[in-house]
Structure 1
Amino acid sequence: MKTDSQATPLRQAGQPSPVAIIGAGIAGTVLALLLASRGIRSVLVERQLGADTHPRGHVWSARAMEVIRAIDAELAEALREISSPPLKLRYITWCTALAGVDLGRCVPIGNDPVHTARLLGSGPCRPLHLSQNVADPILRQRVADSPLIELLAGHELEALSQDDDACTLTLRELRSGRIVRRAARFVAGADGAHSTVRRLLGVRATTTPLQAVAQIHFRAKLGRLTTSRPSPLYWILNPGVVGTLTAHTADDDDWVLSTAVLPEIESASEMREARALALVRAAIGDERAEATILSIRPWTMALQRAATSRVGRVMLLGDAAAGFSAIGGFGMNHGIEDAASLAWRLQLLLGGFVPEGLAQGLLSSYATERADSAAAHGHRTQQLSDLSDEVLRAAGVDPGGFKALSTLSRAAWVRVLPRRAARTLFSTVMGAGLKPLRHLASTAPAGADARAKVRRAIDKQREVFVTLGTDLGYALSSGFVCREPHPHPQSPHSGTEYWPTTSPGSLIPHLWSEAAGESLSTRDLARRAPLTLLVGDKERVRWLAALTQLRADWGIDVACPRIGTDEGAQFRIRPSALAAALEIDESGVVLVRGDGIVAWRSRRQCADPCATLADVISRLVSQAAATPAAPLACPASPTRPTKEMQ
């Protein structure tokens, strides 16, 4: 397939960039790096001049790390090396304060050998605990080092238009006010929850607010209080503060306290350092504890979904398309998966002549698949949030009470009160609501009873933190896949357990190549090309002729690596082991997309590979094109080929 490696430099007047990406957060940066790894140029537009130093998302799922590995295995390894060591992730702890009474622990990894074995055998990467502000500079340096990515930092998008062939962007350089106009074949909007791209497209977003919080970033030497029960996260429950203390990085002195606030009464942006320090000390359990406040940030946890993530040649990804709360850790990872889902499609579209039906199907199915995924992960977020609230209920605190206070704080009569009076009023009401938490530290029989109730609720919390099934086991139910009438059954514990399968819509199962000293997974193999056909060496010759015909008919290349046991094989494995893992017999075949998703399979030998492939592609296109989505700005003839030149 033709790529963009020898394209005219992006700055040449009149030459559109293949892809323009608005927003250099994690989702936008990962998309740019994925495209570059496939030889495709992009221009990456970012309003900020430098990376944000405030800690943000810190949970990297196994699936997200596999996307990073697809960019470069050394990059994935570099992030792993600076992430928190597994021992530090051993527990999730609930306590009245770090120096207070332990209420219970959840053991997501480490002490469960069965889960650990499943985790290590489920894929080439394990989840990481690493704050986004630590990863950002590493990814940004990769962008700077790539000759295929043009970074326009300090620029913001002001206008966006599109026609049949390209999009036109009007950018403003923030320092000088200079207007810059650029053209691009496709645009990816990865510019966050308050997306300018989404606004310019006129795409509505629905938001379900969950909680406004203050995130207090501070440094303190707390090793004496944490060494005996190392945790990435400590839930703090006392009348002075309810929230989480999170160790976002491998640095033992780097912490973030997240606690609920009422923005109308005391917003995080207005919080004084003395107030933040008092909250930190209440969480530590020592009024004299030394801590240095580094930053205080507001964050409104909410479920947000754009009405569509595609309008013509413009796609939305990351928080611009869907936002989640902290529970479950889906937000950043979902954005990375958006990038993976979009990258292989753009590679096909930018590779040469693509029939209009296929082009429309690829773009429409992106919007459908990501909307379905956002809905499923949003639903799971709400389930986990409700489960997490059971601990507060067990402690005698109504989780809905704070939501009621938040609603009350926006009442007209509250707004006319003097600010100090309003703070005093709501502080008194909130203190009364948190009063039952005093019993948790009591040595009286009532305290023992309260702790026992909380401990029973904590025993149910493992599902909140073990999300391997949701991560690797999520399967597409529609889109660019040939779903089977009876998909593979899911585990009864589908949120925590992952059952590998090649049922179309699922992530391809992981197998290591058996070549000595080689670190190559079946998922690595699948992520190297937009589409990959996995078939045993004995059947491969028959399928190569079919792939040649497919290229002539549809203008797309499908990779077909040699899989076998001899020295010339690109993936070394015994035929029986491959067949067993792929749930086919030794003459069967599996078609995998560039994001690792199984598009189609035949469990047994196909009599006519040419006719079979033609039928498969036709089915994929007809299914995807039938999906409702925002049309191109100027619809073209359904039979006209679209040439997406780079």
Structure 2
Amino acid sequence: MGDTCDVIVIGAGPVGATAALLLADYSLKCIVVEARREPQRHPAAHVLSTRSMEIWREIGLERDIRRLSAPMHELRNILYCTSLVGPELGRVPLADLPRAQLDAIESVSPTRGAHLPQNAFEPLLWRALRDNARIELRTRWQYNFHTDAADGVSVTITDIISGMHRKLFARYVVAADGSASTVRRSLGVTMDGPVLQHMVSVHFSADLERFRHSRRGPVILTYTAKGLGAVMVHRQPQDLVFQIPYFPPVESLDDFPAAVCRRHILDAVGDADVVIEIKSIQSWTMHAQVADSFRVGRVFLAGDAAHRFPPTGGLGLNTGVADVHNLAWKLAWVICGRACKTLLDTYEQERRPVGIAVTTESVTNFDGLLEVIVALGIPRRSVHQLPRVVAAVPEWLPRRAVRALIRGFTTLGYQRLRLAQSPGRVGKRIRRRAAAVIAGQGPLYHSWGRDLGVRYRCGAVIDDGLPPASVDSQFRSPRMRAGGRLPHSWVEGRDGRVSTLDLVSRDELTLFVSVEGHTAWSAAAEGLPMSVILLGNDELGVFHTGIPGADPDALVVRPDGHIVAALHSDRDGTASLRRALAVVDAPSSAKVLAHE
């Protein structure tokens, strides 16, 4: 391919890899620059949302992801226990839901979410990158700096092994190089928001099946007298993860060697005879931060480079995938001449408010988890203040003495959790109190409504003037709104049953029309660069607003599946279609490609 391409992607994690695959699907050439030599070995992120699966479905990855992901019977519940052998405190059902709720979840999309750890997912993505003739994956090269020019951007990269420099040229750069983004720092873009917690993540293998026969789920939260933890069951028995909170600068990763981590895991299991094999130990920081800007010149920030959330609800990776899905078609249209470059301004206008909203929700979810600790007897003030107190410790104080003091304080606090294991009346009362809190934690994990209910209020959309739809963040009932995702409905066609999402054109706007408005809209769209799709009476739910008399009979939809405009044939016409083209900065004089 050489050193010139359409788009340079920095970072080959799930977000960067997805960006390159989406851009290549628009026939753009990409160079992906990745400092690592191989895919992620640590499981890391693992929740793949329904909307992300829709996006990967577009580029042909859904079947392979589904083949590798955990079966549904392993995803039944989120468990809260004193230990794996101790009393259960409560559970939040994921798959163990009433039939009516499961039917509602499956009806809103042609696919469903999956559970696949990053160390199994990334190799699949890297194979897809290497198999794509339009993508060149350059591993063991790292971003150094870049220079904007009038017609493009030059990026200097450095070979990590030899130290050799090389200069790449492209029209644009997508920075998906993670939470410590070198690109973001070079741009001078800051992140606003607090640091919530520091965690040690231990990748291990162990046979825990005998402890899980009635506790099937991807996450088991544990509360023992020696501390808090979370067991992530990715692929039993080889891919398990245990999360341990720690407190810098008093503590560091060096304070958690394999022997210490093994003791923490055995304590959470509750059986000292279990054989634990430690595979890797990493640290990570739980942020609630959003970048001040998602774009500087020809460089766009996406994923953790643009926003960092607590992991509760699995919002980080999935929000990043939605970032690049929003961006890819805009870059493709601008580069290929289908739209003016001002369309690219709408990326930040649309995605940054989403990042802010998700950050707020993630903090709420994190606080929800802390409520369980409070219910178990640890004072609320201590729960909230301890990380801040530790972070404020002066650097000149002796580290060993401060660490002993903090550990003594936390050990004393954790002793209160011992009561939750006791068989007497006090233990039962504490467990009932915790169970009541856990019973209300469904919104922390049920994200179907939140996931599919993202709505852009400004950018490349036209406000429909309707009040916001009442959105249940857990179980979404489809309600059409301009700026929102096109509702899914199965459509019978010449090639069999497809989703309305499958009918969205990638090369032009798509005009979905009802039978009632078909004649008027076909005439209005004549000569305009729009694909016209007729939906039959069985698919009229796509137009449903939930407001009597407000349902439109036409929807203008962008390549990313979001609705540009909701129109009514009795008061809208060709002028409205031209306005829809104008808001995506697309010319309105091109040959129309019509479908019926």
Please tell me the TM-score bracket, short chain as reference: over 0.9
Q: Secondary structure at the match of 2:64?
A: helix
1:180 maps to what in 2? 166
Q: Secondary structure at the match of 2:194?
A: strand
Q: Is the contact between residue 502 and residue 583 of structure 1 (CA under 8 Å) also seen in structure 2?
A: yes
Distance 1:48 1:619 in 2: 40
- TM-score of the aligned structures, taking structure 2 as reference length: 0.92
Answering whether residue 79 of structure 2 is matched by residue 93 of structure 1, we say yes
Q: Is the contact between residue 144 and residue 151 of structure 1 (CA under 8 Å) also seen in structure 2?
A: yes
Distance 1:413 1:616 in 2: 57
Q: Is the contact between residue 247 and residue 255 of structure 1 (CA under 8 Å) also seen in structure 2?
A: yes
1:532 maps to what in 2? 510
Answering whether residue 148 of structure 2 is matched by residue 162 of structure 1, we say yes
Output one character per residue of 1:353-391: Cα deviation in whole Å (capped at 9) or x when no partner. 64xxx421x111110111100011111112222222221
Output one character per residue of 1:53-77: Cα deviation in whole Å (capped at 9) or x when no partner. 00111111100110000111xx211
Question: Paired residue for 2:349, among 368, 372, 386?
Answer: 368
Question: Paired residue for 1:502, among 477, 480, 483?
Answer: 480
Distance 1:620 1:138 in 2: 34
Q: Secondary structure at the match of 2:17?
A: helix
Supply the RMSD in Å over aligned alpha carbons. 2.3
1:248 maps to what in 2? 234
2:592 maps to what in 1? none
Distance 2:501 2:392 in 1: 53
Output one character per residue of 1:43-95: Cα deviation in whole Å (capped at 9) or x when no partner. 111111111200111111100110000111xx211111211111111111111
Answering whether residue 591 of structure 2 is matched by residue 613 of structure 1, we say no
Answering whether residue 454 of structure 2 is matched by residue 468 of structure 1, we say no
2:113 maps to what in 1? 127
Q: 1:409 to 1:386 in 2, by over 3 A?
A: closer
Q: Secondary structure at the match of 2:143?
A: strand
| Comparing 177-186 and 395-404, the one that deviates more | 395-404
2:531 maps to what in 1? 559
The correspondence of residues 13-52 of structure 1 with structure 2, limited to 5 A, is 16-52=4-40
1:439 maps to what in 2? 419
Higher relative contact order (CA 8 A, sep 6+): 1
The alignment of Structure 1 onto Structure 2 pairs a total of residues equal to 582
Distance 1:547 1:202 in 2: 45
Q: 1:230 to 1:580 in 2, by over 3 A?
A: closer
Answering whether residue 570 of structure 2 is matched by residue 592 of structure 1, we say no
Distance 2:519 2:82 in 1: 66
Q: Secondary structure at the match of 1:409?
A: helix
Distance 2:188 2:526 in 1: 42
2:291 maps to what in 1? 306
Q: Is the contact between residue 313 and residue 447 of structure 2 (CA under 8 Å) also seen in structure 1?
A: yes
2:64 maps to what in 1? 78
2:245 maps to what in 1? 260
Identical aligned pairs, as a percentage? 30
Output one character per residue of 1:228-276: Cα deviation in whole Å (capped at 9) or x when no partner. 2211111101111212111123x34421111210122322344111100
Q: 1:399 to 1:595 in 2, by over 3 A?
A: farther
Answering whether residue 196 of structure 2 is matched by residue 210 of structure 1, we say yes
Q: Secondary structure at the match of 1:514?
A: strand
Unaligned 5+ runs, structure 1: 1-9, 551-556, 564-572, 623-646
Q: 1:187 to 1:93 in 2, by over 3 A?
A: same
Cα drift, residue 317 of structure 1: 0.4
| Comparing 533-542 and 441-450, the one that deviates more | 533-542
1:359 maps to what in 2? 341
2:437 maps to what in 1? 457
Q: Is the contact between residue 55 and residue 131 of structure 1 (CA under 8 Å) also seen in structure 2?
A: yes
Output one character per residue of 1:277-313: Cα deviation in whole Å (capped at 9) or x when no partner. 0000001001222110111110111112111101122
Distance 1:425 1:153 in 2: 45
Distance 2:391 2:362 in 1: 26
1:408 maps to what in 2? 389
Distance 2:391 2:368 in 1: 28
Q: 1:467 to 1:27 in 2, by over 3 A?
A: same
Question: Paired residue for 1:67, among 40, 51, 55?
Answer: 55
Distance 1:538 1:144 in 2: 48
Q: Is the contact between residue 530 and residue 558 of structure 1 (CA under 8 Å) also seen in structure 2?
A: yes
Unaligned 5+ runs, structure 2: 587-596
1:629 maps to what in 2? none
2:275 maps to what in 1? 290
1:578 maps to what in 2? 539
- TM-score of the aligned structures, taking structure 1 as reference length: 0.85
